[in-house]
Copies of this chain bind each other. A is one copy, B any other.
């Protein structure tokens, strides 16, 4: 079955949004499922399940590195599998979406509480790329009268670091901004660093390209780097490496390169756990040994698992 034009359009907009973090895009993906559900009202049970499966697949394909897309799709498809009538499907799926939405918001709030204690008062704090969890955590600390200065860089080629700077400044933080490779000059002025995460699995953390260099520089300078991620970012091994497929057109980085120059524009990369001071989740600050337990519990719906296997 084909998705409606409206759902197609919503998914394309999510796919083309390179400036937002995974948690923020997952909230928008919830609305895509709600639209599909409302379109299912006159469809049969099996057609409704198929439409929901197609929606889940489209959302995963939009951002294959973003773990919440798999986990959101899985809760919806599990809910759809568990019912025996159209009416029940609508109720169960709606409730699953609301629970996922609540989980995202509660995770962000609990992470912000933990981050409060990690922000060194009166110091410079580094933040990389764009993560709604990092923004809400730093602004929450600021609103609780912890004073500090935020330092960030552009995050080429998407430049979402400018969006980060703008949001932090509009929330009352003093922000110092520079280009990406100025890390060697500006990181030594910082006492802690924070980044979002797109995906957590046993091999490590996946985040925007540049995170590896940031983590390396933080390790060299003895600056604790905290990764912020609700457990909705956890994925099992079989879909973990889907992030490697997320390659954008080179023209987005250099619109008209001369002949002989090939432009690479990868989006995500792996950061080893042991370069990170801590993974801050709604379940607390996890160590590498604890992450395996959480990953074991995560299951991706078979119809989304196939998608990751097909692309790799």
Residues of A within 8 A of B (CB): 154-157, 162, 165-166, 169-170, 172-186, 209-214, 216-217, 220, 253-254, 257-266, 269
CB-CB nearest in chain B for A173: B260
> For A185, what are the chain B residues with a Cβ–Cβ distance below 8 Å?
209, 212, 264, 266, 269
List 23 A-B pairs, Cβ < 8 Å. A154-B253, A156-B181, A162-B257, A165-B258, A165-B261, A169-B261, A175-B260, A175-B262, A176-B261, A176-B264, A177-B262, A178-B266, A179-B209, A180-B180, A181-B210, A182-B209, A184-B209, A184-B210, A185-B209, A185-B212, A185-B266, A216-B217, A216-B220
Shortest Cβ distance from A243 into chain B, in angstroms?
12
Contact B210 A264 (CB under 8 A): no
User: CA of A236 to CA of B192 in the docked complex: distance in angstroms?
Assistant: 36
User: CA of A66 to CA of B184 in the docked complex: distance in angstroms?
Assistant: 20
> For A269, what are the chain B residues with a Cβ–Cβ distance below 8 Å?
184-185
User: CA of A176 to CA of B266 in the docked complex: distance in angstroms?
Assistant: 13
Other-chain residue from B166, B213, B259, B266 in contact with A213 (beta carbon distance below 8 A): B213
Contact A174 B260 (CB under 8 A): yes
User: CA of A179 to CA of B172 in the docked complex: distance in angstroms?
Assistant: 31
> For A254, what are the chain B residues with a Cβ–Cβ distance below 8 Å?
154, 162, 177
